[in-house]
Amino acid sequence: MKNNYLLIIVLTLVFSVTKVFAQPANDNKTNAVELSDFNNWCSADKAYTTANGTADETKPACWNNGPVQNVWFKFIATDTFIKAIVRTGSNYGTMRYAQMAIIDASNNVIACQTYLGSTSHIVCQTNNLTIGQEYHIEVDHRQGNNPWDYSGNFTLCLYSEKDYDWKDHA
């Protein structure tokens, strides 16, 4: 009887540790989280994470290094414009030195941004989407001494309307 209790305790601990150290669901490009709301949408604060992620695909040219623990999102363009923001710091998330890219179906990077500071928000925007085509958003952090040095959670926001960053909407 004691052995049964011991076995149950050990199995519970093993499954708990596996869950704690599990990779994010969108760890690989093939498992990208599908996004469909681009009208001033933000995820819940700290909704996504790079923690325990693994690197896949190649490094976008504007990134200083990586991929390290990249995660993926995908969407079908409903307009030629999209603005994606990764928010970190304070209530938005613990990930530091964020990097992001928007990639088309042929794996061409069409917008790219690397960190401006350890917890700064980063913005990727483009006016060159083809309506009806699928695109991916890749989010990562810079490489530290260890892959997990800068990993953590973040908030993702999407906007479909141009703002004052664009001459025709200034």
Six-digit token pair at 112? 């790219």
Q: Residue 41: is its pLDDT beyond 70?
A: yes
Q: Which of residues 11 and 92 earns the better pLDDT score?
A: 92
The mean pLDDT of 3-19, rounded to a whole number, is 41
The mean pLDDT of 77-82, rounded to a whole number, is 95
Length of the chain: 170
Query: At a CB cut-off of 8 Å and minimum separation 6, what does 84 contact?
Result: 100, 102, 111, 123, 124, 125, 137, 156, 157, 158, 159
Q: 3-state DSSP call for residue 42? A: strand
State the pLDDT at residue 132: 98
Determine the Cα angle at 112 with ends 108 and 114, to 5°: 140
Q: Residue 15: is its pLDDT beyond 70?
A: no
Q: Which of 117, 40, 128, 115 is nearest to 84 (CA)?
A: 40
Measure Cα distances from 20 to 7, 94, 98 in Å. Answer: 20, 17, 23
What is the pTM (predicted TM-score) of this model? 0.84
The mean pLDDT of 58-74, rounded to a whole number, is 96
Q: Cβ(128)–Cβ(83) under 8 Å?
A: no
Tell me which H or E stretch contains 34: strand 33-34
- Domains of the chain with CATH codes: 24-161 (2.60.120.380)
